[in-house]
Structure 1
């Protein structure tokens, strides 16, 4: 029984760590964005600039730990590392859940979104299994005792996980779990179906008795039902609060609003363009690769001149900063504005580019592997 439990714990923990690491390594920039949230919550903003690098190291660490556990190599060091990691993440997810500071843990990236409480429960299970491994670490048998083979396998796993993380960072995620993936119909993903129930809210009043000073908190329904509003001794103090009591239907894309510098809404015009159009995304121009932007700017210029393709730049920067950047880079593209959150989801690159037609994401690219105008023409425009 003990042997079966030990083998189950070893296989389950090892596979889960590899899976978790690979899912996050598939989208290291997205994992970096999640780490930035944690850094802000814990007042560690000085680490924000290193978030992507830290994200890649954590992904590699998870994959290597999981693989070494399955191989049975260096059992003392591996089980100690696993225990320290799970204690840290159990604490982190508990704080996130209890104080509602981060709404999604990012444990499995965007592939399997978990709430903080779900993630905390998952970590508790892992903690129990890893404690079993730690206490019985001497009974973990390696697949080979040959030191040369052990070092070779370790080197191969480490190199492969580093190369994979670097590839997805310098290109785009191999598997895209975000709503703006290739083939997505953006207008459809922004709609709420007929008959779908919206969020339900309750208005909460803070009441105070003028004579006794007694205080009450009462919902709008109870306020009317009890007819307390007829009693002149009770007065509403402060501003009534709106409280979400039941979550309704949530469209996949709910936060995309594209405007010009004056605030005019251009979302429908740009997203539902029936012709091919290029959407260049750079959520933060201060951190955008200039060479990449020059490359996409030349692509936009050639597309417009040769095929009358509209190209726009989306950013979350201020109009003043965007104008200065546009002049410095001699941008041909029109500049529009949107919140950073949807822009980060559109394409995991700064800058990146999406090819849209009639609201559908036809394709998208990182600036490192953006196509030439000849390639675009052959594949799309000249058809």
Structure 2
């Protein structure tokens, strides 16, 4: 009796953890893409041939993670589910040990940007998780569907449809939930303040440089600022610049200070400005910082005295309120 209770508790804990972990990444799959690119890089796993496939790999893993969490809770195909949970956790147990032991990846991204864990904290979390899953593997016969008939199957496939819809939505627009320091409502100047423990502030490496100086302090004091984020010009969606031009021209007419921000070469940016007849200049910022600021290329961020008031993918540029 006690063993059955432990199995059901493990089932709930594992299912809830996988759903939570999957959800915080589901709302921002591009963040997971960047993390897998880091894992596949030469300095970590040295599997750079997989870098171009980081996004589909991230989406597949996220969907599998959250769907398996649903399946274990509703009791749909328990044998397949528990063994899948076991092998996925075993893979990440190795990855987190590798990251922690060799100090390769300082944040595994297992909870997206919602919760930050050190590599060793993540490894020990996975040790506990795989112990719970092993109990489910051994006592898989105890795991029964919580609903009769085809209801568990319907819940599973309905969940899959919802998860795929969310992925499509956030890739077309922006993350549904933004856990980063550049989220709407966040003040970047406050984010630059060092915490009491002396750790790195949430907003760091935020510079907006022209050829002479860093304009970030000046722009963060202004009331009406629009930044067009193009973290990498070569990877930017060229169709987006027509909409970018339209909204930036309107913003300038209404008194906004408008700048593009990119990590690309100056000559390439000047050529793009001429090609698309853009009425603003570009400033330089670190590419990683720009990727953190907004999951779009190009994307739009509106500031009011350093507070983020709006963020839009270029697809939704016309929805920016001026």
Instruction: Give the TM-score category using the shorter length.
Output: over 0.9
Map 1:281-360 to 2 at 5 A: 281-305=229-253, 307-360=254-307
Paired position in structure 1 for 2:141: 138
Q: Secondary structure at the residue paired with 1:354?
A: strand
- Equivalent residue runs for 1:49-128 within 5 Å: 49-128=52-131
In 1, distance between residues paired with 2:159 and 2:296? Answer: 26
Instruction: Give 1:353 shift.
Output: 0.6
1:45 aligned to 42, 48, 51, which one?
48
Runs of at least 5 residues in structure 2 that lack an aligned partner in the other structure: none
Alpha-carbon shift at residue 252 of structure 1 (Å): 1.9
CA distance in 1 between counterparts of 2:40 and 2:212 reads 31
Does the 8 Å CA contact 2:19/2:69 hold for their aligned counterparts? yes
Distance in 1, Cα, partners of 2:56 & 2:242: 25
Quick one: distance in 2 between partners of 1:48 and 1:331? Answer: 32
Map of 1:1-383 to 2, 5 A cutoff?
1-40=2-41, 41-146=44-149, 148-192=150-194, 248-260=198-210, 262=211, 264-273=213-222, 275-305=223-253, 307-372=254-319, 376-377=321-322
Specify whether residues 7 and 98 from structure 1 end up closer, same or farther in structure 2 by C-alpha distance, changes over 3 A only: same
1:194-231 deviations in whole A, cap 9, x for unaligned?
Answer: xx67xxxxxxxxxxxxxxxxxxxxxxxxxxxxxxxxxx
Structure 1 residues without counterparts, runs of 5 or longer: 198-247, 378-383
Deviations 1:344-381 (A, max 9, x none): 11111111111112111111112222335xx624xxxx
Cα distance in structure 1, aligned partners of 2:291 and 2:87: 31
Contact 1:18–1:63 (Cα < 8 Å) also in 2: yes
Q: Residue 34 of structure 1: CA displacement?
A: 0.9
Could you report, residue by residue, the CA deviation over 1:248-274 in whole angstroms, capped at 9, with x for unpaired residues? 3432212112211x352222122222x
TM-score between both structures, scaled by the size of structure 1: 0.79
CA distance in structure 2 between the aligned counterparts of 1:183 and 1:150, rounded to whole angstroms: 40
Conservation of the 8 A alpha-carbon contact between 2:68 and 2:81: yes
Deviations 1:39-90 (A, max 9, x none): 1021222222222222222111111101111111111111110111010000
- 1:152 CA displacement: 2.0
Give the Cα–Cα distance (whole angstroms) in 2 for the partners of residues 85 and 110 of structure 1: 21
How many Å separate the matches in 1 of 2:143 and 2:191?
Answer: 49
Instruction: State the shift of 1:277 in Å.
Output: 1.4
Q: Number of aligned residue pairs: give it.
A: 319
In structure 2, what is the Cα distance between the partners aligned to 1:153 and 1:37?
35
TM superposition shift of 1:341? 1.6
CA offset at residue 333 of structure 1? 1.9
* Larger strand percent: 1
TM-score by length of 2: 0.94
Q: Contact 1:180–1:345 (CA<8 Å) still a contact in 2? A: yes
CA contact (8 A) 1:191 1:251 kept: yes
Larger radius of gyration: 1
> Do the aligned partners of 2:32 and 2:58 also contact (CA within 8 Å) in 1?
yes
